[in-house]
A = this chain, B = another copy of it.
């Protein structure tokens, strides 16, 4: 591996974190490299930059494509495939959330629903089902919230984020304001 120091550190870090994030080292390194590269890279660029085998690059790129985390591009008069990450980091975040949900949450939700349809055979199973029901409800609340929020454009999403918990205070304030509005004048919104 022969990269400028800052880039190398970043690439190595992503490689090490890979296992915690459910991807492997090479996939993490390739992603990091593409993320900080201004121009799209072809497979052999990656081989050279990271010092890994061509076939490993091929399989790892395939993995990244399955995650929708990289974009394949073509240059005129060049039949090689080139790869980049999207420029917009908010878009990357959305993709990441979507794919992780698909892989890490949806299968569990579907198992929970199936197990909740079954008839408990004894007291032990009845208790277990009550716990599964709690988990199911929680995950449904979270995914409903997520489905709602993911449709926001970036600007509104950023607003929502910057508000954080203040939202609930705003809600309280809004209730008071509405009641003041009702007392003193008829607002044109409910």
Contact = CB atoms under 8 A, between A and B. Distances in A.
Contact of A185 (B4, B132, B185): B185
B165 A103 contact: no
B164 A149 contact: yes
B142 A108 contact: no
Contact of A124 (B7, B156, B177): B7
A9 interface: yes
Contacts of A174: 170, 173-174, 177
Interface in A126-163: 127-129, 131-132, 134-135, 138, 141-142, 144-145, 147-149, 151-152, 156, 158-163
B124 A38 contact: yes
A174 B168 CA distance: 13
A177 to B, nearest CB: 5
A76 interface: no
Contact of A111 (B9, B37, B176): B9
A2 interface: no
B189 A35 contact: no
B107 A4 contact: no
Contacts of A125: 4-7
Contacts of A141: 158, 161-162
3 cross-chain pairs, A with B, having the tightest CB-CB distances, nearest first: A148-B164, A184-B185, A36-B128
